[in-house]
Structure 1
């Protein structure tokens, strides 16, 4: 496990190894989105021993209208910071680094959860909610969402985390802007891929101004929708280059427009064609996740140059001792 054990610098973060626990929604927060005792215990158990180099906290909503589901973590106002500090402290005490993923659900938000009608880049039903037509965001509303991402990132920093991850995957709002399936705009936010990532670049810029250059910014990129007419790896290769230029320190690659998925995915690390293609376009670290259950496979994916860090999700979710065994402790 020579490469898996090898330390790596990501932005200003010094990670002790290449193993990442990717964001996985627990639905364990309080009703108001605050960190619960169950969440602290959960991340304490997963990070014990510091065998995981980086823990990425599950997606957290930046505004009430961007909440994806009941009992989702919140990063939407300052009242959540105190409990989040307890979470970051537990993970640091165990010896791992920790960042938070921040998100807006866009048109897959539900009025039952948010109390508000869903919004999106265009008035186009999402494939996950085919009967719901979202309200098309105005430019003023887009600016408000950009500010909400920046404010959320500042809260992540104030809560003691080591970095922040902007979520643009799995059919949520930012990936809705990237995807031609959901973005039919005719203004500067629609059309070619550079227009479709305009909001991403504005979010990155606003986040970096809010947290300062010393705070590490990741971006999770849904690099292929795997749906007819959706985002392709060609689109995402262009986007990845622009995100690196904008100051993103690492790209966390995923796929699927209707959640975390790839059709007929059978092999471990099944998103590797995406990460390999992205790695050819950028010099910043690239994270690969997707069905990896054996440390030997993780090591081989690193050896083959298909990624720089390896995310292992479901098996760590089901077996909290996996990381210790995998790292040879």
Structure 2
């Protein structure tokens, strides 16, 4: 039997397989409200065999958006727009989560296909950004360092957005602490220059992430899985390390997280990454600690057999993929066919099954 297409149960949620869709920003929202694009985009992956789909980085505060076109969950209008998208995924027998996020010093930037680059000026719809320290990401506007009240507001915003996500029907909540965004900025000594109880030691640098996790777990029923996405290395000298990531993963599990979604990079522009097939899988293995910490692997996992081997080698418990799902929204069905896995196809597509 294929491991990739064996079910996985976390709390009360059983995922029909372990081939999942990574959160991928579409930069197509209006005032944080998802549009018809998001409905079609996410529902197609459920038809295509995904076990879990995580909706894109969704801001918990307006100033937490990466760009003016990001989705949000800071308002009830946004919650109500997400609900039919969630239902569409459920109607196709898949589960769906949402990645709750705050971009910190990497907020208020232009979307990828805009003619401009860098920070959006206030005159053109941009806003003041916030970070652990008043240290800018290279080429972006200088942020304002969060004070105690600001950090409290961030924690409360994650909790309120989690409530709205659950009201919209999401099955999984993922907290975004990767890719150079706010919680990752607190975790890394390359962005966190604080000398209070949120800076310095790893325990202090992890404090805000764990506070957010506690707040999200507190508003979530016991049957709801909560994931934490981390960048397990900054790919830069003096940055966050895989060993520190493993420790944060252990603390996160103790604070109620159910799975650590392991990625890397994004904190500094001068990072140096050796990119290749499965290049982040060893990081997931490090955080997994021989099976003590449930993890998912991501990063140029593009083929069925490759994904199967990651699980067979016990480097991770599940696979997230991104680009391959964009190339082929039926990647799940194709992978099952290639591995000879016996899975239920949508009856509308049953004629495609090789016999």
Q: Same fold (TM over 0.5)?
A: yes
Q: Which secondary structure does the structure 2 equivalent of 1:326 belong to?
A: helix
Q: Which moved more, 1:161-170 or 1:277-286?
A: 277-286
Structure 1: how far apart are the matches of 2:46 and 2:26? 15
Q: Which secondary structure does the structure 2 equivalent of 1:83 belong to?
A: helix
Q: Deviations over 1:287-323 (max 9, x none)?
A: 1010011100000111011111011210111112222
Determine whether 1:9 maps to 2:9: yes
Figure out how many residues of one structure are paired with residues of the other and give that number: 324
Query: How big is the shift at 1:158?
Result: 0.3
Structure 2: how far apart are the matches of 1:208 and 1:258? 26
Structure 2: how far apart are the matches of 1:208 and 1:7? 24
**Equivalent residue runs for 1:36-185 within 5 Å:** 36-49=35-48, 51-110=49-108, 112=121, 115-127=126-138, 129=140, 132-185=141-194
Structure 1: how far apart are the matches of 2:215 and 2:64? 18
Aligned match of 1:18: 18
Structure 2: how far apart are the matches of 1:114 and 1:144? 22
In 1, are the aligned partners of 2:162 and 2:219 still within 8 Å (CA)? yes
The 3 A distance-change label for structure 1 pair 40 and 244 is same
Give the root-mean-square deviation of aligned CA atoms: 1.8
Structure 1: how far apart are the matches of 2:167 and 2:267? 32
Query: Looking at CA atoms only, which structure, 1 or 2, has the larger radius of gyration?
Result: 2
Q: Deviations over 1:38-70 (max 9, x none)?
A: 110111222215x11110111001101111113
Q: Deviations over 1:77-122 (max 9, x none)?
A: 1111111110100011111110000100101112547642111001
Structure 1: how far apart are the matches of 2:193 and 2:90? 44
After superposing on structure 2, the runs of 4+ consecutive aligned residues of structure 1 that deviate more than 3 Å are 111-115, 258-262
Structure 2: how far apart are the matches of 1:60 and 1:109? 12
In 1, are the aligned partners of 2:11 and 2:222 still within 8 Å (CA)? no
In 2, are the aligned partners of 1:170 and 1:259 still within 8 Å (CA)? no
The 3 A distance-change label for structure 1 pair 35 and 258 is same
Q: Runs of 5+ in structure 1 lacking a partner? A: none
Determine whether 1:265 maps to 2:275: yes
Structure 2: how far apart are the matches of 1:171 and 1:320? 28
Structure 2: how far apart are the matches of 1:34 and 1:133? 27
TM-score by length of 2: 0.87
Q: Which secondary structure does the structure 2 equivalent of 1:224 belong to?
A: coil
Q: Which secondary structure does the structure 2 equivalent of 1:181 belong to?
A: coil
Aligned match of 1:246: 255
In 1, are the aligned partners of 2:68 and 2:126 still within 8 Å (CA)? no
Aligned match of 1:207: 216
Query: How big is the shift at 1:212?
Result: 2.8
In 2, are the aligned partners of 1:54 and 1:97 still within 8 Å (CA)? yes
Query: How big is the shift at 1:127?
Result: 3.2
The 3 A distance-change label for structure 1 pair 282 and 301 is closer
TM-score by length of 1: 0.94
Q: Which secondary structure does the structure 2 equivalent of 1:200 belong to?
A: helix
